[in-house]
Amino acid sequence: MTADPIPPGSDPRASVRQRVFVVGAGIMGSGVAAQCALAGYPVTLEDISEELARRGLANATRALEHAAQKGTIGAGEKEAALARIDVAIGLRRADAAQIVVEAAPEDLRLKREVFRDLEDATHPAALLASNTSSLPITSIAENLRDPGRVVGLHFFNPVLQMGLIELIPGHRTRPEIVERARAFGASLGKTIVTSRDTPGFVTTRALAVLLNEAVWMLYEGVATKEDIDTAYRLGFHHPMGPFELADLVGLDTALAILDVLWEGFHDPRYRACPLLRTMVAAKQLGRKTGEGFYIYPSREGRA
Ligand SMILES: NC(=O)c1ccc[n+]([C@@H]2O[C@H](COP(=O)([O-])OP(=O)(O)OC[C@H]3O[C@@H](n4cnc5c(N)ncnc54)[C@H](O)[C@@H]3O)[C@@H](O)[C@H]2O)c1
């Protein structure tokens, strides 16, 4: 293990030289990698196969190119960010990182395994953050030797465009780790809100009900998906309708979140609509599979 420990309360700008290791190169991992590289961090983007890791890098590249086309970043910034990202398969190279962001699928068993492996693969002083949208951080870290180094850092999709990070200290997270996570989030230019460690935190709990209610309305034939999307957009000033958003988030992730909330609270507010479950079983997961509530014919349209 080669990484140096980071002094507590260190200047966030100094942290720019720290290496970030991102676990899971899907929708969120690729966005987090692009954002960290843009802020000056060297980043390793990891997945379970070379094909998946390369696909994540391609998505990160697309996100940075999109930002450059829109003029929110310069062409030079884009090139410099891309040069800071490399890819890996498995956790072998995680020992060089001071900050790890886990963005594997929303499955408690899987995340527990990933964190057990990370505990062995990383320097003991490295900060271990989970990008979970709903799972309690304390549960993810339950079987670790040192649960004090695990914290929730919930990014939003698309990462480059969204200005918020939800910070979730677990029950055992050390205050020094919480402050390092806060400084890291701020160094990415994000605004941080802090939530207690309960299922779904603040944002996911609110979003889950909003999306699920839209699916129930479609299921009951209250209105078409197009009209429900238009109603949310124009009626509430939402930038996207709930079905457009569900397709962006991924229907499997949306369903997993509702199931976590149901398990955590046993409140019928969080009972997933059967239509959502059927669509997930049919692998209509949204943009990432090319079909969800809407159809995305070309690879370009996918996340
Ligand atoms: N999709 C969203 O809008 C969104 C927003 C905020 C947070 N999140 C959270 O981020 C996390 C990732 O979600 P996503 O939408 O990017 O999912 P995704 O399905 O797009 O990507 C997950 C990636 O993790 C990889 N993976 C699976 N097992 C792995 C392992 N053992 N080690 C390393 N990689 C592994 C998969 O191959 C896949 O590439 C979830 O916890 C989710 O709840 C998602």
CATH number of the domain bearing residue 274: 1.10.1040.10
In a domain, 211, yes or no: yes
- Ligand 1 midpoint to CA 220 (Å): 31
Whether 189 and 210 share a structural domain: no
Whether 241 and 123 share a structural domain: no
Query: Quick one: pLDDT band at residue 204, thresholds 50, 70, 90?
Result: very high
Probe residue for ligand 1, chosen from 21, 22, 47, 110 as the CB with the greatest number of ligand atoms within 8 Å: 47
pLDDT tens, residue by residue, 21-51: 999 999 999 999 999 999 999 999 999 999 9
Q: What is the mean pLDDT of residues 234-263?
A: 96
In a domain, 296, yes or no: no
pLDDT, residue 288, reads 93
pLDDT tens, residue by residue, 126-143: 999 999 999 999 999 999
The CATH number of the domain where 164 resides is what?
3.40.50.720
Query: In this model, does residue 87 exceed pLDDT 70?
Result: yes
pLDDT, residue 12, reads 47
Which of 137, 164, 194 is a domain's end point? 194
Domain span holding position 138: 14-194
Whether 98 and 125 share a structural domain: yes
pLDDT, residue 225, reads 98
Whether 210 and 275 share a structural domain: yes
- Ligand 1 midpoint to CA 102 (Å): 8
Query: In this model, does residue 300 exceed pLDDT 50?
Result: no
In a domain, 297, yes or no: no
pLDDT tens, residue by residue, 50-68: 999 999 999 999 999 999 9
Whether 53 and 153 share a structural domain: yes
Which of 148, 166, 194 is a domain's end point? 194
- Ligand 1 midpoint to CA 133 (Å): 10
Nearest-CA residue for atom 20 of ligand 1:
26
pLDDT, residue 17, reads 77
pTM of the model: 0.90
pLDDT, residue 282, reads 98
In a domain, 221, yes or no: yes
Whether 144 and 263 share a structural domain: no
Whether 171 and 134 share a structural domain: yes
Among 96-100, 144-148, 295-299, the minimum mean pLDDT is found in 295-299
Count of domains for the chain: 2
In a domain, 23, yes or no: yes
Whether 190 and 50 share a structural domain: yes
Query: In this model, does residue 255 exceed pLDDT 50?
Result: yes
Nearest-CA residue for atom 27 of ligand 1:
104
Query: Quick one: pLDDT band at residue 297, thresholds 50, 70, 90?
Result: confident
Which of 124, 159, 194 is a domain's end point? 194
Query: Quick one: pLDDT band at residue 8, thresholds 50, 70, 90?
Result: very low
Whether 22 and 139 share a structural domain: yes
CA-249 nearest atom, ligand 1:
3
pLDDT, residue 140, reads 98
Whether 137 and 190 share a structural domain: yes
Q: Which amino acids bring their CB within 6 angstroms of ligand 1?
A: 23-29, 46-48, 52, 103-106, 110, 114, 131-133, 154-157, 249-250, 253, 288
Query: In this model, does residue 226 exceed pLDDT 90?
Result: yes
Q: What is the mean pLDDT of residues 251-278?
A: 96
**What value does the mean pLDDT of the chain take?**
93
Query: Quick one: pLDDT band at residue 299, thresholds 50, 70, 90?
Result: low
Whether 63 and 158 share a structural domain: yes
Query: In this model, does residue 1 exceed pLDDT 90?
Result: no
Whether 136 and 51 share a structural domain: yes
In a domain, 8, yes or no: no
In a domain, 1, yes or no: no
What is the DSSP code string of the chain? --PPPPPTT--TTGGGGS-EEEE--SHHHHHHHHHHHHTT--EEEEESSHHHHHHHHHHHHHHHHHHHHHTSS-HHHHHHHHHTEEEEESSGGGGG-SEEEE---S-HHHHHHHHHHHHHHS-TTSEEEE--SSS-HHHHTTT-S-GGGEEEEE--SSTTT--EEEEEE-TT--HHHHHHHHHHHHHTT-EEEE--SSTTTTHHHHHHHHHHHHHHHHHTTSS-HHHHHHHHHHHH--SS-HHHHHHHH-HHHHHHHHHHHHHHH--GGG---HHHHHHHHTT--BGGGTBSSSB--SGGG--
pLDDT, residue 5, reads 39
In a domain, 78, yes or no: yes
